[in-house]
């Protein structure tokens, strides 16, 4: 939600069930009975695109998800798409992809302090996934990246920023985690949620691990 408007993003498919998906972004007003203001679709990858999350700052819209290409056997790649809200329609500004060794997916997105943060996952050569956190500037230039994980599948599902601290949530080795990334703030001991193992990681602005804590019931 941004101001008095609601934005949502996902996938769009033509009537042909075999056709690839395109990114679909919708804008509604925030009245008691929301009305559609505009719909915008974007695509071009031969194996389809999909949106997982959207964030809005003023008239700029940022979308993350996946971008596929039949020419790239290691796709899909993580997608970052920037649009401009023209009021009654949306227009394309720029797009970029994060290309790892294998499939990469963007799951959550947040905006803060002139930066775009994306949480998701990258796939290793063994087929396991590692959690991934990326930082971009608003021109979609990659500033830094950080990934982590063990022998099992690890995924970062969402990201939020508060008072200069970046919080990431997801799963690591089948257990839930919450990570915190900050420049200067020291994070207290992690709390527990039921029987789920919680993980807390404190990093410098450049991505170096300062503190790593676990807690389990």
Mean pLDDT across the chain, nearest whole number?
80
What is the pLDDT at residue 196? 34
User: Residue 136: which H helix or E strand, with range?
Assistant: strand 129-137
pLDDT tens per residue across span 122-180:
987 777 888 999 999 999 999 988 888 777 788 999 998 888 788 888 887 767 777 77
Q: Nearest-5° angle of CA 17, CA 26, CA 33? A: 115
What domains sit in the chain, N to C, each tagged with a CATH number? 5-160 (2.130.10.10)
Rounded to whole angstroms, the Cα distance separating 166 from 38 reads 31
pLDDT at 95: 95
* pTM (predicted TM-score): 0.81
Q: Residue 127: which region, alpha, beta or left (left: phi > 0; alpha: psi -120 to 50)?
A: left
* 17-26 tens-digit pLDDT: 777 889 999 9
């Amino acid at each position: 939600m941004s101001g008095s408007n609601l934005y949502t993003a996902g996938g769009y498919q033509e009537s042909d069930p075999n056709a690839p998906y395109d990114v679909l972004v919708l804008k509604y007003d925030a009245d008691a009975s929301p009305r559609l203001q505009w719909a915008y679709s974007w695509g071009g990858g031969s194996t389809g695109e999909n949106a997982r999350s959207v964030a809005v700052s003023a008239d700029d819209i940022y979308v993350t998800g996946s971008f596929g290409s039949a020419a790239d056997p290691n796709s899909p790649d993580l997608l970052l798409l920037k649009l401009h809200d023209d009021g009654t329609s949306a227009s394309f500004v720029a797009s970029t992809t994060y290309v790892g060794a294998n499939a990469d997916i963007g799951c959550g997105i947040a905006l803060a302090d002139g930066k775009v943060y994306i949480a998701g996952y990258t796939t290793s050569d063994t087929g396991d996934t590692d959690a991934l956190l990326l930082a971009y500037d608003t021109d979609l230039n990659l500033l830094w990246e950080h990934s982590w994980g063990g022998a099992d599948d690890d995924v970062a599902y969402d990201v939020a920023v508060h008072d200069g601290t970046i919080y990431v949530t997801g799963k690591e080795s089948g257990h839930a985690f919450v990570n915190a990334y900050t420049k200067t703030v020291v994070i207290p001991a992690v709390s527990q949620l039921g029987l789920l193992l919680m993980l807390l990681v404190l990093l410098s602005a450049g991505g170096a691990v300062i503190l790593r804590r676990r807690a389990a019931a």
